[in-house]
Every structure is written in structure tokens, then in C-alpha cells.
Amino acid sequence: MDSRESDILAVLKAWCRVEPVSAPAALRLDQDDWERLATTAGREGVAGLIGRALTDDPAAALVPERVRIELQQIAREQAAAHAWQEATLGEVLDAFGRSGLSPVLLRGHALVASLYESDGSLRPQLDHDLLVPHREMPEARKVLRRLGFEDGEEAGDVFSRDDVTVDLHHDPYDRSRVPSRGRVIRADAAGVHRRAIEARVAGRPVLQPCPSDRVILLSTHLVKHSFDRLIRMVDIAECWRQSSPDPEVVEDRARREGTADAVYYALAAARVRLDAPAPGNLMARLEPPRRRWVDRAFGEVLRGRSPGAYFAERLLLSQLGSWRERLTAVGEMLWTPEHHTRAASESIARRFVAAPERVVDVARRALTRHGS
């Protein structure tokens, strides 16, 4: 990593928080560096936070006007999208309430409300993930359809109306969608609901995961997406700063639920990249066995780069005890219930040649590596 890249990462570390701290490295950036930083911030979902920091740090006076305008524009767009999404979310929550349903808001607006001062310009949200008990799923689907939401033809409970997407979950780890996860994760989905705490979102009382559950869920979500965006690490860092989860509860629950490895890597990434205040003794106790490929891939994450696709899947496979379990899990990863549903809707000829996207992607990556 060259010194300029290191300086850019240092500025991101200082300014990617709700209460940004001074970033001396900003004094060393030139115009090209600032433009690279703005591009990175947009891609990583932290442009709104960087824009907020520009009002607090004296070094922000060095930011080129074009970069400042770009960041401010992203923040305005995120704020407008948040307001639009919040209005629809309120409509959904009211309809759920009339039907006696009390979903847990897993991420999205619940995070903005509790960790980002309800400021929609600071964090982008793509959809609404609602956790509903399994027995209430049929009624939740009916409510959304009555509101004009349509579910797609693919497996899963993803409903859309206009530009708003509601993703219903009866399991926060989606083990029914990707059965291989259930070979390692043993979490009691109902427990997240029992331990949920009240919050206020869209002007309404709602449920959100308790701090210890939130850290675990955010951590596994970050690993599931192969550390794809810095904003997911910011969520974890802010959860520790503002909610102060009990480290012993996090450790005990993560070990019992089979998420300890994922929690360790997520907390380690947030600690190095963003100075998240996860206690060191918790990190030491959660540290998993050394695995050469994991250490190599995770080293890329700590340097601000991608660990490559399928980090979560490979981590899961490494935790299985036998080759038979691993081969079975690979089959479940490559041919999920969603792929079964897609294939069933095709003609016999198309079904015969249908190949899940992951199979094609894995083959393409293998050929690329072989040719390089």
C-alpha cells in the first residue's frame, strides 16, 4: 500500500463516524487524492458521513469545490430517498399493526434512527428487512399484497411497490434460502424477537434487535457480503460506541449460535479499519484457529481491499468437520431453493441446461485465474 492510499484510508477512518474526529492525513492529500477519496466514499456507502465531517474538520477547507459538491449531492439524494422510503415504511408498519403484527426492523431505518441520529443523509438504505415470526408470515404476505406490493417469481419473500422493497424474514440468517448456513448456525430465530427492544422509526414505536443481537447480526451480515462496503463496518463501530453491548453476552451467544468466527472477523475488520471500540479481551477469546487462506483473504480486508467472492461460504465450509458435510454444503450453496424455483418455471429444455449463476461465476473465476 503506497503512502497516498494509506492517507486516504486514514481520512476515511477518522471521518466515517457520526461524531468525526480530526484527520491530520487530510493535509497531505492533493486534488487527485480527494477525487479518489470521494469515489471510494460513494462506492463504500460513506459519502454522507464524509460530507458531515467536512463541516467539522479545519482540514476540510482543502477539499476541492468539485469534490465537496459531489459529496453534498450524494447526501441530499440519500436524504430524499430516506424520506420517500420512510413514508412507505410507516404505511407498512401501520397496516401490520392493524393486523396484530409486530415485526423487528433488522437494519435500514432502524439503524438510521438509533445510530445515525435519524439523519437519512448519513447512511444509504436499499430495502426494508422485517423479521416476522414464522407463524405470522402468511398474514404478513397478505398485508403487503393488500397494500399493492408484488412478490417476485423467485423463491423468498421479497415484495416491491414502486421503488420500495420489503424483504420478509422469519429467520434473520435466511437458512431456508441457503440451507448450508444451518449446518453451522444454530441460532434460535425466535430469540431475536423475544429480546427485541423498542425504538421509534417513521414516527412510530417499533421493535429492533437488542444491542448484543444487533452486533451479531450486523457482523454475520458483513461477512455474508464479503466485507463489500465500509458502511457495514461503520454500523458495527457505531453500535459499540453508542449501545455498549455486553461483551460476555455477545461471546456466549455467538458461541452457542455458531456465529463466533463471523463475529470475530467482523469486529476485527471494524476495529482496524475504523477504530471500533470492541474490547480486546473479547477479540482474544473469540479468535478462531489459524487458517492460511482465511488469514490471506482477511489481510486484504484489513488493507481496505476485497477478500474475494464467497468469503462467507468458504469460512462456513472450513467449520464443518467432515468432507461429506462439506460436499453436501457445497451442493446446497450452488443449488439453493431459489435456483430450484427458477428451474421449475422454465421449459424442459431450459431446465436441462439451467446452471445456477454461482456455478457459472465460479467457473469464470477459475478460468480467469488459470489464464492470468
CB atoms within 10 A of CB 117: 13
At residue 353 the predicted structure's pLDDT band, cuts being 50, 70 and 90, is very low
| Average pLDDT estimate for 5-14 | 90
Per residue in 95-140, pLDDT (tens digit) is: 999 999 999 999 999 999 999 999 999 999 889 999 999 999 999 9
User: Lowest mean pLDDT: which of 65-74, 103-112, 314-323?
Assistant: 314-323
* Residues 325, 343: Cα–Cα separation, whole Å: 25
* Distance (Å) of CA 297 to CA 6, 156, 219: 19, 30, 17
Domains and CATH numbers, the chain: 1-63 (no CATH), 82-209 (3.30.460.40), 211-317 (no CATH), 318-371 (no CATH)
- Please report the pLDDT score of residue 347 as a whole number: 53
| Average pLDDT estimate for 5-17 | 91
Per residue in 79-98, pLDDT (tens digit) is: 999 999 999 999 999 999 99
Q: pTM for this one?
A: 0.88
Coil, helix or strand for 69?
A: helix
Per residue in 143-194, pLDDT (tens digit) is: 999 999 998 755 569 999 998 999 999 999 988 888 888 889 998 889 999 9
Per residue in 193-231, pLDDT (tens digit) is: 999 999 999 899 999 999 999 999 999 999 999 999 999
Report which of 236, 229, 224 is spatially closest to residue 261, judged by C-alpha positions: 224
Contact predicate 315/268, CB 8 Å: no
Q: Which region, left, alpha or beta, applies to residue 185 given φ > 0 means left and ψ of -120 to 50 means alpha?
A: beta
